[in-house]
Structure 1
Amino acid sequence: MKIIIAGAGEVGFHLAKLLSYESQEITLIDVNKESLNYADTHLDIKVIRGDATSISILKEARIENTDLLIAVTSSETTNITVCVLGKRLGAKRTIARISNTEFVHHKDEIAFTTLGIDELISPEALAASEIELLLNQSAFNDSYEFEEGALTMFGLNLSRTAAFVGKTVKEAAEIFPEIHFVPIAIQRFGTQYTIIPRGDTQFKDGDSVVFITSEGGAEELCRMTGKVNAEIKNVMILGGSKIGYKSARDLSKTTNVKLIEKDRERAFDLADGLPKTLVINGDGRNVDVLEEENITDMDAFIAVTGNSETNIMSCLVAKSKGVKKTIALVENMDYFELSQSIGIDTLINKKLLAANNIFRYIRKGEVVAMTRLNNMNAELLEFKVKPTSKVCNRYIKDIDFPRSAIIGGVIRDGKGHIALGDFKISKGDMVVVCCLPRSIKQVEKFFL
């Protein structure tokens, strides 16, 4: 697959890095010499220095033979222009990064596809949505919805009091036959290895486990693991970034929100734009400021400043003050992979959220949605079953799936099902699959 990425910033470089691992043919365009030199020496890709809105630069990148054009520069105007030009010059599919979420909300009304833009993504809006979902399901440290919640993925750490610790997956299924959830990935405490569970896989104390749940599964999972899905009433947000603003705006509809912003002018602008949010001008790194604003009364603390270290440290302070739910925005992927041992409930990363959103266009088969699991070397993909798919009209137990992949659930006519061996897959079904990277190509073949 030939892919052009316009913009070698954080999102563009991260995408180029991930896609280069997939043996895709990548061309990266940017005006910044240093960014391109770094990408050129660290990745197996082609780089072109120049303005991506230049027709001659796009032609040099062989836009006429491009399968996917991704415009992720810091300027949404540039991104939209690049996609419009790219489509006219022959790009098969275009994706533009935008910061104005009005474009996403009104994309059908504006009909961006007629302009030449197939998809709009906003990393900031994706992060804000992720935060809202995590607070709605406060017992879990990772979550993702398929088809508006018909199936939901939840991640949590098992304690020794969980009902099925010490039992195998098969034993747990026999003891609790009517449950509406199934484990799809496990990471043992203190290891970096991801296990795709089978019937003989044993649940252990300290395991980080990802489950797929259908309707009612979240409540059952909480009950059986001793977790409490506490209602979040009071939220403190550190940082008036775009993510902080969007989170405060959405959360203040149902919760009491305090937002702390260091910059005085920005704090006044936020106060004008967020009438239901209490905006405080202060330095959230100062423990005295946090205590003055009653951090001990907060149910959740969200740190979304532009500094990863500040976000992590302030969340640790919040945790030490008894705050139940902490979420930190981090840019450094090394930190991101350490969330379980750091002691923060959830770390979120804009680059990874954007990459997940874009990656489904890279996968073969009709991939409707995709996410990478936090701290695990596994992907969760939602495929639409075609009449020609190898899985069509077959029972799950008869499908020769690789051992490093598992079907977590099936959505049929908008209803989620925890699909076990005697479930028959039909045309039009949405099938959610969890797999390790090495088995992705094998899995894709089942859905072509």
Structure 2
Amino acid sequence: MKIVFIGASSLAIATAQQLLRADHEVIIIENDKTVIDRLMPEIDCVFLHGNGSKPAILKETDPESIAVLFCLTKSDEANIIASLVARSLGVKRVITRIEDPEFEHICVGLGLTDTIVPTLTNARYLANIAAGHNILELSAIFRGNIKLFNFIASASEAGPVNELDLPKHTRVIFAYRNDQFLPLDSDSKIEPADELVLVSTADDYEKLQGKWGNGKAQN
């Protein structure tokens, strides 16, 4: 599987190293040549020097063959632009890093629904630790081929949860409405713009992706 990173951040390098250990093909695009020169002896992957938001640079990676492209530069704006360019070139899945949560809804509006907000995620995690809560990693809870999938409900999905057309092994577990957590059961009502969180299997995930695009799938 070919994975491409735009921006050689510490997050990108740590993720790339794990992917390389799993025998995936990794390409890192970095605009700073001194960063590439420093990293090349440390990580055995392909480096491309250039601006990852430029179509000419992305075309060197054969975009249609990329399984996942991570946009992990320090600039939210650069990550959003690079994500849009990558989508236009046929990249199957694009993950966009943003630091400012206000950009999240903009990303959704642009069709960039696979977003990560590391600072906000880490802040919530640390706040829970400080409050004495026992935090379990998802990897410790989910076994086998279980995945989470998020998508934003449209008007066509509005109505009772039990009327939502889902694959056999998929269930809605909760939602976010106006950024507020909302537990759901089979009789709960879905409203347009609700962000629904589903638990599913790897096989059903492909069906979900076919129905709702990339959504925000998570292992």
Which interval holds the TM-score relative to the shorter structure?
A: 0.5 to 0.7
**Mapped contact 2:28–2:46 kept (Cα < 8 A):** yes
Instruction: Give the direction of change, closer, same or farther, for the CA distance of 1:34–1:413 in structure 2 (3 Å limit).
Output: closer
Structure 2 residue corresponding to 1:126, chosen from 108, 121, 124: 121
Partner of residue 98, structure 2: 98
Partner of residue 87, structure 1: 87
Instruction: Give the direction of change, closer, same or farther, for the CA distance of 1:59–1:145 in structure 2 (3 Å limit).
Output: same
Partner of residue 241, structure 1: none
**Mapped contact 1:93–1:118 kept (Cα < 8 A):** no
Determine helix, strand or coil for the equivalent of 2:40: helix
Distance 1:131 1:115 in 2: 31
Distance 2:38 2:101 in 1: 31
1:187-229 per-residue CA deviation (whole Å, 9 max, x = no partner) reads: xxxxxxxxxxxxxxxxxxxxxxxxx6xxxxxxxxxxxxxxxxx
**Mapped contact 1:31–1:51 kept (Cα < 8 A):** yes
Q: Residues 319-398 of structure 1: matches in 2 within 5 Å?
A: 365=145, 367-368=147-148, 387=168
Instruction: Give the direction of change, closer, same or farther, for the CA distance of 1:52–1:413 in structure 2 (3 Å limit).
Output: closer
1:135 aligns to 2:130 (yes or no)? yes
Determine helix, strand or coil for the equivalent of 1:101: coil
Distance 1:39 1:97 in 2: 21
Instruction: Give the direction of change, closer, same or farther, for the CA distance of 1:368–1:412 in structure 2 (3 Å limit).
Output: closer
Match for 1:103: what amino acid?
A: F
Instruction: Give the direction of change, closer, same or farther, for the CA distance of 1:413–1:57 in structure 2 (3 Å limit).
Output: closer
Q: Residues 172-211 of structure 1: matches in 2 within 5 Å?
A: none
Distance 1:365 1:88 in 2: 30
Match for 2:148: what amino acid?
A: V
1:306-350 per-residue CA deviation (whole Å, 9 max, x = no partner) reads: xxxxxxxxxxxxxxxxxxxxxxxxxxxxxxxxxxxxxxxxxxxxx
Distance 1:412 1:54 in 2: 39
Q: Percent of aligned pairs with the same residue?
A: 24
In the alignment, structure 1 segments of 5+ residues that lack a partner are 147-152, 154-183, 185-211, 213-363, 370-384, 393-410, 416-428, 433-443
Determine helix, strand or coil for the equivalent of 1:132: helix
Distance 2:118 2:111 in 1: 21
Match for 2:26: what amino acid?
A: I
**Mapped contact 2:146–2:200 kept (Cα < 8 A):** no
**Mapped contact 1:95–1:119 kept (Cα < 8 A):** yes
Determine helix, strand or coil for the equivalent of 1:52: coil
Determine helix, strand or coil for the equivalent of 2:53: coil
Deviation of 1:139 after TM superposition, in Å, equals 6.1
Instruction: Give the direction of change, closer, same or farther, for the CA distance of 1:102–1:413 in structure 2 (3 Å limit).
Output: closer
**Mapped contact 2:173–2:199 kept (Cα < 8 A):** no
Distance 1:91 1:3 in 2: 11
Distance 1:412 1:113 in 2: 20
Distance 2:173 2:98 in 1: 32
Partner of residue 54, structure 1: 54
Higher relative contact order (CA 8 A, sep 6+): 2
Aligned residue-pair number:
165
Deviation of 1:16 after TM superposition, in Å, equals 1.3
Instruction: Give the direction of change, closer, same or farther, for the CA distance of 1:54–1:430 in structure 2 (3 Å limit).
Output: closer
Partner of residue 21, structure 1: 21
Deviation of 1:131 after TM superposition, in Å, equals 1.3
**Mapped contact 1:27–1:45 kept (Cα < 8 A):** yes
**Mapped contact 1:94–1:117 kept (Cα < 8 A):** yes
Deviation of 1:89 after TM superposition, in Å, equals 0.5
Partner of residue 356, structure 1: none
Distance 1:54 1:92 in 2: 18
**Mapped contact 2:33–2:49 kept (Cα < 8 A):** yes
1:45 aligns to 2:55 (yes or no)? no
Distance 1:366 1:39 in 2: 34
**Mapped contact 1:8–1:30 kept (Cα < 8 A):** yes
In the alignment, structure 2 segments of 5+ residues that lack a partner are 150-165, 175-182, 184-197, 207-219
Deviation of 1:15 after TM superposition, in Å, equals 1.6
Distance 2:11 2:173 in 1: 35
Match for 2:42: what amino acid?
A: H
- TM-score normalised to the size of structure 2? 0.63
Deviation of 1:46 after TM superposition, in Å, equals 1.0
Distance 2:33 2:173 in 1: 51
Deviation of 1:413 after TM superposition, in Å, equals 5.8
| Root-mean-square deviation over aligned CA pairs | 3.4
